[in-house]
Amino acid sequence: DGGITQSPKYLFRKEGQNVTLSCEQNLNHDAMYWYRQDPGQGLRLIYYSQIVNDFQKGDIAEGYSVSREKKESFPLTVTSAQKNPTAFYLCASSINPGTNTGELFFGEGSRLTVL
Amino acid sequence: GDSVTQMEGPVTLSEEAFLTINCTYTATGYPSLFWYVQYPGEGLQLLLKATKADDKGSNKGFEATYRKETTSFHLEKGSVQVSDSAVYFCAPGGSARQLTFGSGTQLTVLP
């Protein structure tokens, strides 16, 4: 079945370490997104990519980095510069970022805990 | 930019009760409107959507009507079930950038 796969589902990190969260989609979608979700809060956009080899910062990009070398993949690196990285991270994709529909398809999420 | 104001939770109801979760938005133009649902420990799933004024989106007994005059998209269900317990997010679309999500409303349905 087509969908979005995020891994790992749970990740523990020591302070000062970089970690990379994987996001893979086989929906042939052009656009991909990373969101951060904190308890009791909505989703905040970290980075998004509308096409391969191009990406833009979202609202809270500081301390994060991404790449989009393949259409199917959009990994997120949480760097040591991110002051409060413990959160639930959601990857999403959409068919065509230029349309006015905006429907997103989400992965199951990755929960990162900094020890 | 776009913004959305969603009814704060948590909301606790008994099974078979009527549900309303209010959502109002501000946006440029006339965006598509969405309700997403998030079950515990999972990502978000599209629940329903409406793409133009006066459209009614519906799915799994939930409904929401696109009200342009009040810029609202309230979610309703006539008889909730325990399995409806989740967090519900309202989101106006409309830009190439991405959706703007509300803060989410936690719904708990008691048997």
Tens-place pLDDT, residues B13-32:
999 999 999 999 887 777 88
**Contacts B107 to A, Cβ<8 Å:** none
Alpha-carbon distance B107 to B102, whole Å? 15
Both tokens assigned to A100: 């006015």
Closest chain B CA to residue A91? B43
Q: How far is B60 from chain A (nearest CA, A)?
A: 18
> Looking at the partner chain, which of A6, A41, A101 has a beta carbon nearest the beta carbon of B93?
A101
One-letter identity of residue B12: T
Contact flag A48-B94 (C-beta cutoff 8 Å): no
pLDDT at site B4: 86
- Closest Cα to residue A101, out of B38, B71, B96, B104? B96
Q: Which residues pair with A19 in a beta bridge?
A: A78
pLDDT digits (tens, 9 = 90+) for A28-48: 999 999 999 998 778 899 999
Contact flag A101-B32 (C-beta cutoff 8 Å): yes
The Cα-based distances of B1 to B84, B97, B98, B102 in angstroms read 32, 11, 12, 14
pLDDT digits (tens, 9 = 90+) for A9-26: 999 999 889 999 999 999
Count Cβ atoms within 10 A of the Cβ of residue B68 and give its class: 0-12 exposed, 13-18 middle, 19 or more buried. exposed
Alpha-carbon distance B44 to B50, whole Å? 17
Both tokens assigned to B91: 């989101």
The Cα-based distances of B111 to A81, B18, B107 in angstroms read 46, 14, 13
Q: Is the pLDDT of residue A101 over 70?
A: no
Both tokens assigned to B34: 């969405």
Q: For tokens 């891994």, what's the residue?
A: A7
